[in-house]
Amino acid sequence: MLIRVLGSAAGGGFPQWNANSAANARAFSGDAAAQPRTQSSLAVSANGAHWVLLNASPDIRQQILATPALHPKSGLRSSPIVSVVLTNGDVDHVAGLLSLRERQAFTVHATARVLSVLGANPIFGVLDPKCVTRAPIGFDAPFAPAPGLEIAAFPVPGKVALWLEDKAAPGFGTQDQDTIGLRIAETATGRAFFYIPGCREMTDALAARLARAELVFFDGTLLTDDEMIRSGEGTKTGRRMGHMPMTGEGGSVEAFRALDVARKVFVHINNSNPVLLDDAPERAALAAEGWEIASDGQEIVL
């Protein structure tokens, strides 16, 4: 199974277009230790010919250009992208669908809740239903998004997309519809990995699911829960935004220590997070705990 990190940053990317913190300024200046990153997405294939996108980033055109495996291979118009699987309705995960509007056949897999959100927004009508199929995801009901691959979805604690908060019920979301995790398996070998770019907390059920996994890509949005408040870059905690912090009580590092996961990779990393800097002491501390920081273009073969 081939895995390619198309984008490893959270919404806004790194550097964010209007951000002038020390880390963002280093990235804008071309500092080699502040590697630019596009917004979160993965591409997966079992055969190198048919690819599945896990989320459709606003940066999808740039990501496709940077990934020869995703370039057209035959005819006047074609694409090796056969499916897009959405983990929530956040802008940084669905806006890229609008760039896939050129009458190309593929399937969008998402929960009924997220599909209803797309259906209620007329702009997504540019995805011609004669070409683009919308397929609802059932929990723990594996589906085949491409030859040789099988995906099973499961609920994780999260929240409704930011742009839908004004219409949300108290609590800003439903655990089993607004945010999901994915288990992606290669049918020929049974090898599998998990993709969870958004998660508010580690539950017992989620911990049991991830225990002894071979590879987990996990929500790395913020280093600490109050990161954006302390830096002056925001007014919300990480958990209020639907993201558990990397560190601190109840953080990801603590939660994963007992899970015996072979390889742990943080993705969906906010531009305020110091671990984006190669020379940050916080980055070294995470490495000592066995964590990697995803980077755009990173390739993993299972």
Quote the CA–CA distance of 9 and 234 in Å, as a whole number: 17
Helix locations, 66-154, DSSP H:
91-94, 112-120
Q: At 211, is the pLDDT very low, low, confident or very high (cuts 50, 70, 90)?
A: very high
CA distances 302 to 117, 149, 209, 215, 224, Å, are 34, 12, 19, 9, 31
pTM of the model: 0.93
Range 168-174 contact pairs with CB under 8 angstroms and sequence separation of 24 or more: 172/242, 173/242, 174/113
Q: Which two tokens stand for residue 257?
A: 């220590």
Q: At 177, is the pLDDT very low, low, confident or very high (cuts 50, 70, 90)?
A: confident
In this structure, the strands spanning 192-196 and 216-219 are parallel
DSSP 8-state assignment for residue 117: H
Average pLDDT over residues 7-21: 96
Q: Given this model, what pLDDT does residue 170 score?
A: 52
Percentage above 90 pLDDT, the chain: 85
Asked if residues 2 and 67 have their Cβ atoms less than 8 Å apart, the reply is no
Per residue in 52-95, pLDDT (tens digit) is 999 999 999 999 999 999 999 999 999 999 999 999 999 999 99
Domain 2-301 belongs to what topology? Metallo-beta-lactamase; Chain A (3.60.15)
Q: Taking 80 as the threshold, does the pLDDT of residue 24 lie above it?
A: yes
Q: Taking 50 as the threshold, does the pLDDT of residue 163 lie above it?
A: no
Max CA pair span of the chain:
54
Q: Given this model, what pLDDT does residue 68 score?
A: 98
